[in-house]
């Protein structure tokens, strides 16, 4: 049996205030992301709820 734990990352675009989320494994962390709404490049300089 294969079981994966899913982590959902939530993002707010700094440019258009658009909202989106990405499901990932535990060992992935966002660095730079293009907003799917406006296409601007967002940098993850502030990660909340990080343990």
The closest alpha carbon to 30, from 18, 42, 38, belongs to 42
> Does residue 18 interact with Zn ion by CB under 5 A?
yes
Which of 3-11, 24-32, 36-44 is the region at the interface with Zn ion (rule: CB under 5 A)?
36-44
Q: Least CB distance from residue 6 to Zn ion, whole Å?
A: 24
Q: Least CB distance from residue 39 to Zn ion, whole Å?
A: 7
> Does residue 11 interact with Zn ion by CB under 5 A?
no
> Does residue 16 interact with Zn ion by CB under 5 A?
yes
DSSP string, 16-41: T--EEEEEE-TT----EEE-TTT-PE
The closest alpha carbon to 4, from 34, 21, 28, belongs to 28
């Amino acid at each position: 049996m294969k079981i994966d734990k899913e982590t959902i990352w939530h993002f707010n675009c700094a440019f258009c205030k658009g909202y989106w989320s990405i499901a990932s494994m535990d060992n992935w962390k966002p660095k730079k992301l293009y907003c799917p709404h406006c296409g601007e490049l967002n940098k993850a300089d502030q990660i909340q709820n990080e343990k």
